[in-house]
Chains A and B, each alone.
Chain A
Amino acid sequence: EAQVTQNPRYLITVTGKKLTVTCSQNMNHEYMSWYRQDPGLGLRQIYYSMNVEVTDKGDVPEGYKVSRKEKRNFPLILESPSPNQTSLYFCASSSTGGTTQHFGDGTRLSIL
Protein backbone atom coordinates (compact mmCIF):
# COMPACT_ATOMS: atom_id res chain seq x y z
CA GLU A 1 0.00 0.00 0.00
CA ALA A 2 1.32 3.43 -0.98
CA GLN A 3 1.85 5.48 2.14
CA VAL A 4 3.74 8.14 4.03
CA THR A 5 4.60 7.05 7.57
CA GLN A 6 5.44 9.43 10.38
CA ASN A 7 6.73 8.53 13.83
CA PRO A 8 5.94 9.20 16.56
CA ARG A 9 2.28 10.13 16.23
CA TYR A 10 2.24 11.89 19.58
CA LEU A 11 5.06 13.25 21.72
CA ILE A 12 5.17 15.33 24.88
CA THR A 13 8.62 16.57 25.78
CA VAL A 14 10.43 19.41 27.50
CA THR A 15 12.18 22.53 26.29
CA GLY A 16 15.70 21.94 25.00
CA LYS A 17 15.58 18.18 24.64
CA LYS A 18 16.56 17.29 21.07
CA LEU A 19 14.00 15.27 19.15
CA THR A 20 13.58 13.78 15.69
CA VAL A 21 10.36 13.05 13.85
CA THR A 22 10.85 10.45 11.17
CA CYS A 23 9.10 10.35 7.80
CA SER A 24 9.28 7.53 5.30
CA GLN A 25 7.53 6.99 1.96
CA ASN A 26 7.32 3.82 -0.13
CA MET A 27 6.36 5.40 -3.47
CA ASN A 28 9.86 6.23 -4.71
CA HIS A 29 8.91 9.90 -4.71
CA GLU A 30 11.57 12.50 -5.35
CA TYR A 31 9.88 15.38 -3.56
CA MET A 32 9.25 15.46 0.20
CA SER A 33 8.17 18.24 2.49
CA TRP A 34 7.40 19.11 6.12
CA TYR A 35 4.56 21.32 7.32
CA ARG A 36 3.25 22.55 10.62
CA GLN A 37 -0.39 23.25 11.29
CA ASP A 38 -1.52 25.80 13.84
CA PRO A 39 -5.10 26.93 14.58
CA GLY A 40 -6.34 29.56 12.15
CA LEU A 41 -3.15 29.49 10.07
CA GLY A 42 -3.61 26.44 7.88
CA LEU A 43 -0.47 24.52 7.02
CA ARG A 44 2.85 26.27 6.65
CA GLN A 45 5.82 24.74 4.90
CA ILE A 46 8.96 24.24 7.00
CA TYR A 47 11.41 22.58 4.60
CA TYR A 48 11.21 20.65 1.39
CA SER A 49 13.51 18.39 -0.58
CA MET A 50 13.64 17.90 -4.33
CA ASN A 51 15.86 14.82 -4.13
CA VAL A 52 18.61 13.15 -2.11
CA GLU A 53 20.94 15.76 -0.58
CA VAL A 54 18.85 18.63 -2.01
CA THR A 55 16.81 20.61 0.50
CA ASP A 56 15.48 24.15 0.78
CA LYS A 57 13.68 26.35 3.26
CA GLY A 58 9.97 26.87 3.29
CA ASP A 59 8.20 29.73 5.01
CA VAL A 60 8.93 28.82 8.64
CA PRO A 61 12.33 27.04 8.85
CA GLU A 62 13.66 28.67 12.04
CA GLY A 63 14.39 26.15 14.78
CA TYR A 64 14.25 23.11 12.49
CA LYS A 65 16.74 21.00 10.58
CA VAL A 66 16.23 18.34 7.93
CA SER A 67 18.35 15.86 6.04
CA ARG A 68 17.74 13.71 2.98
CA LYS A 69 20.35 10.98 2.85
CA GLU A 70 18.04 8.39 1.33
CA LYS A 71 15.23 8.90 -1.12
CA ARG A 72 12.58 7.34 1.09
CA ASN A 73 13.39 9.14 4.36
CA PHE A 74 13.14 12.80 5.35
CA PRO A 75 13.52 13.30 9.11
CA LEU A 76 12.66 16.57 10.86
CA ILE A 77 15.03 17.51 13.67
CA LEU A 78 14.38 19.94 16.50
CA GLU A 79 17.78 20.54 18.07
CA SER A 80 16.51 22.63 20.99
CA PRO A 81 12.72 22.55 21.03
CA SER A 82 10.79 25.47 22.49
CA PRO A 83 7.12 25.81 23.47
CA ASN A 84 6.33 27.83 20.31
CA GLN A 85 7.10 24.67 18.32
CA THR A 86 4.13 22.92 19.89
CA SER A 87 2.08 22.05 16.82
CA LEU A 88 0.70 19.38 14.52
CA TYR A 89 3.31 18.33 11.96
CA PHE A 90 2.77 16.71 8.59
CA CYS A 91 5.15 15.10 6.16
CA ALA A 92 4.24 14.82 2.48
CA SER A 93 5.70 13.40 -0.70
CA SER A 94 5.06 13.65 -4.42
CA SER A 95 6.65 12.31 -7.56
CA THR A 96 7.87 15.81 -8.46
CA GLY A 97 7.34 19.25 -7.02
CA GLY A 98 3.96 20.67 -7.91
CA THR A 99 2.18 17.37 -8.41
CA THR A 100 -0.26 15.60 -6.11
CA GLN A 101 1.13 15.48 -2.58
CA HIS A 102 0.42 12.53 -0.32
CA PHE A 103 0.39 13.24 3.40
CA GLY A 104 1.25 11.23 6.47
CA ASP A 105 -1.21 11.04 9.37
CA GLY A 106 0.50 13.77 11.35
CA THR A 107 2.60 14.06 14.50
CA ARG A 108 1.28 16.06 17.42
CA LEU A 109 4.15 17.61 19.39
CA SER A 110 3.74 19.25 22.77
CA ILE A 111 6.80 21.01 24.18
CA LEU A 112 6.53 22.07 27.79
Chain B
Amino acid sequence: GIQVEQSPPDLILQEGANSTLRCNFSDSVNNLQWFHQNPWGQLINLFYIPSGTKQNGRLSATTVATERYSLLYISSSQTTDSGVYFCAVYTGGFKTIFGAGTRLFVKA
Protein backbone atom coordinates (compact mmCIF):
# COMPACT_ATOMS: atom_id res chain seq x y z
CA GLY B 1 0.00 0.00 0.00
CA ILE B 2 0.88 3.65 -0.14
CA GLN B 3 3.51 4.85 2.30
CA VAL B 4 3.33 8.38 3.70
CA GLU B 5 6.41 9.84 5.35
CA GLN B 6 6.57 13.15 7.16
CA SER B 7 9.68 15.07 8.12
CA PRO B 8 11.03 16.19 10.40
CA PRO B 9 9.42 14.09 13.15
CA ASP B 10 10.07 16.79 15.75
CA LEU B 11 10.73 20.49 15.44
CA ILE B 12 11.45 23.16 18.03
CA LEU B 13 11.23 26.80 16.96
CA GLN B 14 11.67 30.15 18.55
CA GLU B 15 8.60 32.33 18.24
CA GLY B 16 8.78 34.33 15.03
CA ALA B 17 10.80 31.75 13.08
CA ASN B 18 9.70 30.16 9.81
CA SER B 19 9.53 26.46 9.07
CA THR B 20 8.81 23.94 6.32
CA LEU B 21 7.21 20.57 6.95
CA ARG B 22 7.38 17.88 4.29
CA CYS B 23 5.09 15.00 3.31
CA ASN B 24 6.29 12.36 0.83
CA PHE B 25 4.02 9.69 -0.57
CA SER B 26 5.03 6.57 -2.45
CA ASP B 27 2.36 6.39 -5.15
CA SER B 28 -0.19 8.47 -6.98
CA VAL B 29 -3.00 9.75 -4.80
CA ASN B 30 -6.32 11.35 -5.50
CA ASN B 31 -6.05 14.07 -2.93
CA LEU B 32 -4.12 15.33 0.07
CA GLN B 33 -5.06 17.16 3.21
CA TRP B 34 -3.06 18.86 5.99
CA PHE B 35 -4.27 18.92 9.60
CA HIS B 36 -3.14 20.48 12.85
CA GLN B 37 -3.79 18.56 16.05
CA ASN B 38 -3.87 21.04 18.89
CA PRO B 39 -2.76 20.27 22.45
CA TRP B 40 -6.36 19.34 23.33
CA GLY B 41 -6.32 16.62 20.68
CA GLN B 42 -8.66 18.27 18.19
CA LEU B 43 -7.91 17.86 14.49
CA ILE B 44 -8.18 21.10 12.59
CA ASN B 45 -8.37 21.20 8.80
CA LEU B 46 -5.64 23.37 7.34
CA PHE B 47 -5.60 22.67 3.62
CA TYR B 48 -7.23 20.41 1.12
CA ILE B 49 -4.60 20.51 -1.61
CA PRO B 50 -4.40 17.83 -4.31
CA SER B 51 -2.05 20.03 -6.34
CA GLY B 52 -0.79 23.58 -6.58
CA THR B 53 -0.38 26.15 -3.84
CA LYS B 54 -2.77 27.60 -1.29
CA GLN B 55 -2.33 30.21 1.39
CA ASN B 56 -4.24 31.01 4.54
CA GLY B 57 -2.72 33.78 6.62
CA ARG B 58 0.70 32.71 7.91
CA LEU B 59 0.28 29.20 6.54
CA SER B 60 0.69 28.01 3.00
CA ALA B 61 0.95 24.64 1.32
CA THR B 62 2.23 23.32 -1.97
CA THR B 63 1.62 19.91 -3.47
CA VAL B 64 3.59 18.60 -6.44
CA ALA B 65 1.62 15.49 -7.25
CA THR B 66 3.87 14.41 -10.12
CA GLU B 67 6.83 14.29 -7.73
CA ARG B 68 4.79 12.86 -4.86
CA TYR B 69 5.33 15.40 -2.13
CA SER B 70 3.65 18.25 -0.32
CA LEU B 71 5.09 21.04 1.79
CA LEU B 72 3.50 23.04 4.59
CA TYR B 73 5.04 26.43 5.32
CA ILE B 74 4.58 28.20 8.63
CA SER B 75 5.80 31.76 8.74
CA SER B 76 6.30 33.97 11.82
CA SER B 77 5.46 31.06 14.10
CA GLN B 78 3.46 31.63 17.27
CA THR B 79 3.14 29.55 20.42
CA THR B 80 -0.39 28.65 19.36
CA ASP B 81 1.09 26.85 16.34
CA SER B 82 2.41 24.14 18.66
CA GLY B 83 0.97 20.68 18.23
CA VAL B 84 1.22 17.89 15.69
CA TYR B 85 0.86 18.40 11.96
CA PHE B 86 -0.44 15.54 9.85
CA CYS B 87 -0.76 15.02 6.16
CA ALA B 88 -3.31 12.52 4.86
CA VAL B 89 -3.59 11.12 1.37
CA TYR B 90 -6.66 9.67 -0.25
CA THR B 91 -6.41 6.64 -2.50
CA GLY B 92 -8.78 5.59 -5.25
CA GLY B 93 -10.46 3.06 -3.01
CA PHE B 94 -11.77 5.68 -0.59
CA LYS B 95 -9.06 4.75 1.89
CA THR B 96 -7.18 7.41 3.80
CA ILE B 97 -3.55 7.05 4.83
CA PHE B 98 -2.03 9.38 7.40
CA GLY B 99 1.61 10.15 7.97
CA ALA B 100 3.04 9.76 11.46
CA GLY B 101 3.08 13.53 11.93
CA THR B 102 5.51 16.33 12.75
CA ARG B 103 5.48 17.45 16.37
CA LEU B 104 6.08 21.19 16.59
CA PHE B 105 6.90 23.16 19.72
CA VAL B 106 7.17 26.93 19.48
CA LYS B 107 9.00 28.59 22.35
CA ALA B 108 8.01 32.06 23.56
Contacts and interface: CB of A to CB of B under 8 A. Distances in A.
Contact of B33 (A40, A44, A100, A106): A100
Contacts, number: 57
Contact of B100 (A31, A42, A98): A42
Interface secondary structure of B, over-half rule: strand
A94 B38 CA distance: 21
Interface stretch (B11-19, B42-50, B51-59): B42-50
B95 A42 contact: no
Interface of B: 1, 30-31, 33, 35, 41-43, 45, 48, 86, 88, 90, 93-101
Interface in A13-27: none
B100 A97 contact: no
Given A90-B43, A103-B43, 14 more contacts: A40-B100, A44-B98, A45-B95, A48-B94, A48-B95, A59-B1, A59-B97, A97-B90, A98-B30, A100-B33, A101-B88, A103-B45, A105-B41, A106-B42
A56 interface: yes
Interface residues of A, number: 26
Contacts of B42: 103, 105-106
A33 interface: yes
Contacts of A56: 93-94
A42 B99 CA distance: 6
A26 B95 CA distance: 22
A30 to B, nearest CB: 10
Interface of A: 31, 33, 35, 40-45, 48, 50, 56, 58-59, 88, 90, 97-103, 105-106, 108
Contacts of B41: 88, 105-106, 108
Given A42-B99, A90-B43, A106-B41, A100 B94 contact: no
